[in-house]
A and B are shown apart, each in its own frame.
Chain A
Amino acid sequence: MNVNETMRFGIFKNNPMLVLFLGLTTGLAVTGSLSHALGTGVVLLVLLVVSGLVFGAVKPMLTKEFQLPFVLVLLALLVKLSELLVLAYFPALGAGIGLYLPLLLVNSVLVFAIGTFEEEAKISGILGNAVKAGLGYLLALALVALLREVVMSGGLLLTSPVSGETLAAIPIFPTKYALTILREPGGAFLSVALVAAVFQALGAREDRVETVEGGK
């Protein structure tokens, strides 16, 4: 697997969080609640699309050594802007994610998925890769959060990102059987590992299918 291949993101094969293990800090921190995980995933997806658009448009003007500094300034702007917007219009989500919202700045998915280190210069290519990475990351966050929240609390509690009010409370099994260890950091790692194993298997199958088709 060469570098360029690794940077082609996907949903199962090369999922940014569960196969490449990028953006794990956020992935471990916000997956205690499905509502927060979905909110974070959507914020990151929007960030990827906007930064992919801007960087894709400007990239042809930049020499290689200027690309990383430009991306860092761009991401600093967009992440700070998204933090202000979330705190202003989705206060419950902002309070739930807390520090991990500004920390999205150092989320490596952002830096890699908009093609900072790649030769690819076409805006469509950059955008396509960014959207795939964003969707893959959103799915990964959602699945890990689903596993964690259900197992550690015996059900799901979906809250409004604006008011924090409960939108839906879905009890699945009695709370006395809940495994609260999944609330802890160790439980978060365990959950990521479990879901990652499933993704690795699915990605490997995709690989095999490709190999067989290529051999025809």
Chain B
Amino acid sequence: MKNVNMKSLVALLVMVVLSGAVLIFADTQLSPIINENAIAQDRAQLVRIFPDADTFSAVDLPEDAGSLQRLFLAEGHGYIYFVENPGYAAPVGFIVGLDLEGNIVGYEVTELNDTEGIGTRIKDPGFVDSIVGRTSVDAFATIAGATVTSQAVTRGLEDVKAHYNAMMGIEDDGSAVVPEPDPDETPALRPIELGGAIPLERDVSASRMGEVVDVETDGNIVTYTVNAPGYAITDGGYEGAEPNVVKVVLDVEAQVILSVEILEVHDTPNIGDDILHPDFLGQFENLSYAQMDTQVDTISYATVSSTSVINAVLAAILAGN
């Protein structure tokens, strides 16, 4: 030890102590600013999930966090995950908030460029309700007909569950089953686009004309079951394609359509089968066909399928006359 230069040793020790002091001071001064920077761009969304929380702070995620992009702690309230997964056309981004007991308290789609009317169903109240209110050990159902987009959400939720449960020490035995959609519950309807009104009575080629297969008469009220060649037959050219089946109830005396009901639809899912939509079918109710020029709307993006229903109604009217 006697060879050690005391002046050098003191200088080094002073440097070490000084460094520690300066860094502690700098850290206490700067970390609130750094934290505020980290949450600045996400603050608006964080507040929507936990409106009562005052302090948010960023939490580090592990390297292999999968679809998890960012994680924030809402002091005393819970955690908010920012998640992104590939969707049908583009990445699907959403945020999920969990309280400290593992209940999902918020879900919001932040980025979505998938098909309007299909992929966008992950924003529907029905789907939101299938997530919010559940817990970190529940399973989540996808949307039939919008599988790819909704899977981006459910797979992301699995990543959220795995991380959250590990962090909070919650045991997930994986026994949760995916809930079956409630058959009594009608799913939230997305709006359809009506357009291109055509007259009810007009010339229709034989290949597109409805074919009456069953007639039930009850006084003036006649119920026709009509096979209507839809898109699957006339344009789709699918092998073994079947016609749509339409039930038309007419008051032949008053020349009024009482109701139109679709019994079977074989056209493209999410496009042609929008002929089931009450906005489309509703326009036939109590519609008088006494006038030759009565007009009805087609569905603008499902012209062939909706026209097939109109042709079925026409076939019933002609049969009634």
Contact = CB atoms under 8 A, between A and B. Distances in A.
Interface of A: 58, 61-63, 65-66, 69-70, 73-74, 76-77, 80-81, 84-85, 87-89, 91
Contacts of A81: 22-23, 26
B1 interface: no
Contacts of A84: 26-27, 30-31, 34
A66 B6 CA distance: 11
B295 to A, nearest CB: 50
A63 B4 CA distance: 9
Counting chain A CB atoms within 10 Å of each CB, the highest count among B7, B8, B16, B31 belongs to B8
A77 B23 contact: yes
A74 B14 CA distance: 11
B37 interface: yes
Given A77-B19, A80-B23, A81-B22, A62 B34 contact: no
Given A87-B34, A88-B30, 15 more contacts: A61-B7, A61-B8, A62-B11, A63-B5, A63-B8, A70-B15, A73-B16, A73-B19, A77-B15, A77-B19, A84-B26, A84-B27, A85-B26, A88-B34, A91-B37
Interface in B11-38: 11-12, 15-16, 18-19, 22-23, 26-27, 30-31, 33-34, 37-38
A91 B36 CA distance: 10
Q: How large is the interface on B (under 10, 10 to 19, 20 to 34, 35 or more residues)?
A: 20 to 34
Contacts, number: 58
Given A73-B19, A76-B19, A77-B22, A62 B8 contact: yes
Nearest to A66: B8
Contacts of B11: 58, 61-62, 66, 70
Interface of B: 5, 7-9, 11-12, 15-16, 18-19, 22-23, 26-27, 30-31, 33-34, 37-38, 40
B37 A73 contact: no
A84 B29 CA distance: 10
A63 B33 CA distance: 40
B12 A70 contact: yes
Given A61-B8, A81-B26, A88 B33 contact: yes
Contacts of B38: 91
B30 A85 contact: yes
23 contacts: A58-B15, A62-B5, A62-B7, A62-B8, A62-B11, A62-B12, A63-B5, A63-B8, A65-B8, A66-B8, A66-B12, A70-B15, A73-B16, A77-B18, A81-B22, A84-B27, A84-B31, A85-B30, A87-B30, A87-B37, A88-B30, A88-B37, A91-B40
